[in-house]
Chain A
Amino acid sequence: MSGNRAGLTAVPARGLFLKRSRFAGNRGFLVLALPLALFLVFIGYMFVYLFHNGLGVVSWRFLTQPPVNGMTQGGIWPCIVGTVLVAFVSLVFSVPVGILSAIYLSEYAANNFVTRGIRSSVRSLAGIPSIVYGLFGVALFVNAFHLGLSILASGLTLGLMNLPWIIATSEEGINAIPGSFREGALALGATKWEAIRHNVLPYAFPGMLTGALLAVARTLGETAPILFTGVTYYTRNLPHSFMQKFMALPYHLFALATQHDQIMKVRPLAFGTAIVLLVFVLALDALAFVIRMRVATANRWQV
């Protein structure tokens, strides 16, 4: 009897000594797996190649020292600091606004013109290229708000980029909470806001956290929005305030790979920067994944 091979459907796969040579049985389908396999192999190869070349460069000193000697030696500490700071600013802006918007859209919004307009805007924002956000950041934050080239300007620009993402994932988190939770609270005489605050948000929190982590993971690797809003090739000291320029991992990689005057000499450093960036992104993705899994198994109301 056709058993159930782990992972494949129990479509009759056995007993096919076909009376007619109908080749398009199982074998035809495996052809479709080829592109996917090639894709996964490519990703694997890329990872192996980068880590192979970069692992030797990364050391505690590499991570905690600033670059010296015209960036041909030393480390990437200021880049890590800068990246973390700008991600922090982006979250400070996008998470509250995003969550509040998500709450409105899932709990309060009626199906009217305004709501449709807002949803449409959120979806459109998600599709806008990162360099356009960069342009907007220059025009609005750097010039109109007179923030100049700064962590703040870049952080806010990245925050705008993150916003649609955070709204979408927060909304998902809130919608996953069954209606009975709210109804129970309302039936006891709670106001709508109280019902949400006590009976929905705490349970939606892990979903929102996952969303925020994934958003940060993307933010870490974004170069275009920070390119003209505050990132810089080199600063001697770490920034003291949010109004200063900063160094960042993705830009550092870009600079070492294409702008430096001794490109081949700094190539190893570029590899090191690349894998540090990758590790940060993967770590955040993994954390988000773990939280999502833990929550899914812990939530007894989720089927």
Chain B
Amino acid sequence: MAEDKILVEDLNLWFGDNHVLKDVGFRIPPNAVTAIMGPSGCGKSTLLRTINRMNDLIAGTRVTGRIVIDGKDIFADDTDVIDLRKRVGMVFQKPNPFPRSIYENIAFGPRIHRMGNRSDIAERVKRTLRHANLWDEVKDRLHDNAFSLSGGQQQRLCIARCLSVEPEIVLLDEPASALDPHSTARLEELITQIKQDYTVVIVTHNMQQAARVSDFCAFLMLGEMVEYDRTERIFTKPRDKRTEDFLTGKFG
């Protein structure tokens, strides 16, 4: 495959004594959408959160293996985790805007990473909101509280916030699970749009969504990586029986 953006090798993760990820290995190509799918509780979110080392926040976590981004192992001793999280953005399952204005939500990231002066940041906010297909809806109320937006809008705001610091990789953890079908459709539209400029990894338990939105698909089950390949191939000719059983709905 083309130069991989992310390479996961022999990844094992324990929460205390609980072995959650078992020898996981796969590749994530750049400028494409890779979906991680599988039944609930199989470790998809945990795997995603390992890529930007958010699991570090949970006490008792132990990780072995490598995750290589652009040729550098993120678990190396000299990794700047703060920088990592700037380059690898994340959007969570439930929209979590800050209790501030829409403008302030987007401006926060660029400010703390010192990405320019006040007018630079204002420009950036506008650009980012445009990019997230939210500008027209909020341009007249930038200083309203972010919670005054609808659920779907809040989630797009969170995506915009994530994009505001110019990440290279965007991680989405079941971003549409709290949204209605209309908002979900708009969100998926946005994801397809941004993949030109970013590497997108999305976790979903909805395989139709995976089929709609992704270029590559990785199937995770009970903490093990069963198989990963181009989406059309996985859905039409899965190599592993477990994948086939999952896709045909034998278990969910």
A-to-B contact residues, CB < 8 Å: 1-2, 4, 9-12, 14-20, 22, 25
Nearest Cβ distance between residue B193 and chain A, in whole angstroms? 32
A15 B58 Cβ-Cβ under 8 A: no
Comparing B77-85, B102-110, B126-134, B138-146, the segment that makes contact with chain A is B77-85
Across the interface, A4 reaches (CB within 8 A) one of B59, B64, B77, B80, namely B59
Could you say which residues of chain A place their CB within 8 Å of the CB of B3?
A: none
A1 B79 Cβ-Cβ under 8 A: no
B76 on the A face (CB < 8 A): yes
If the complex has contacts A1-B62, A19-B83, are A10 and B57 also in contact, measured as CB distance less than 8 A?
A: yes
Nearest Cβ distance between residue A9 and chain B, in whole angstroms? 7
B40 on the A face (CB < 8 A): no
Nearest Cβ distance between residue A247 and chain B, in whole angstroms? 53
Give the distance in Å from the alpha carbon of A12 to the alpha carbon of B85 in the complex: 12
B53 on the A face (CB < 8 A): yes
Across the interface, A1 reaches (CB within 8 A) one of B59, B63, B78, B83, namely B63
If the complex has contacts A1-B75, A2-B56, are A10 and B61 also in contact, measured as CB distance less than 8 A?
A: yes
Give the distance in Å from the alpha carbon of A17 to the alpha carbon of B79 in the complex: 8
Smallest CB gap from B114: residue in A: A20
Across the interface, B56 reaches (CB within 8 A) one of A10, A18, A22, namely A10
B99 on the A face (CB < 8 A): no
15 sampled A-B residue pairs with Cβ under 8 A: A1-B62, A1-B63, A1-B75, A4-B59, A4-B61, A10-B56, A10-B57, A10-B60, A12-B56, A12-B81, A15-B77, A15-B80, A15-B81, A17-B78, A18-B80
A11 B57 Cβ-Cβ under 8 A: yes
Give the distance in Å from the alpha carbon of A210 to the alpha carbon of B184 in the complex: 53
Across the interface, A15 reaches (CB within 8 A) one of B59, B61, B76, namely B76
Could you say which residues of chain B place their CB within 8 Å of the CB of A22?
A: 82
Nearest Cβ distance between residue B57 and chain A, in whole angstroms? 6
Give the distance in Å from the alpha carbon of A16 to the alpha carbon of B56 in the complex: 14
Nearest Cβ distance between residue A21 and chain B, in whole angstroms? 11
A11 B82 Cβ-Cβ under 8 A: no
Could you say which residues of chain A place their CB within 8 Å of the CB of B61?
A: 1, 4, 10
Could you say which residues of chain A place their CB within 8 Å of the CB of B80?
A: 15-20
B82 A9 Cβ-Cβ under 8 A: no
Nearest Cβ distance between residue A132 and chain B, in whole angstroms? 39
Could you say which residues of chain B place their CB within 8 Å of the CB of A11?
A: 56-57
A15 B57 Cβ-Cβ under 8 A: no
Smallest CB gap from B13: residue in A: A1
Could you say which residues of chain A place their CB within 8 Å of the CB of B56?
A: 2, 10-12
Nearest Cβ distance between residue A12 and chain B, in whole angstroms? 4
B59 A10 Cβ-Cβ under 8 A: yes
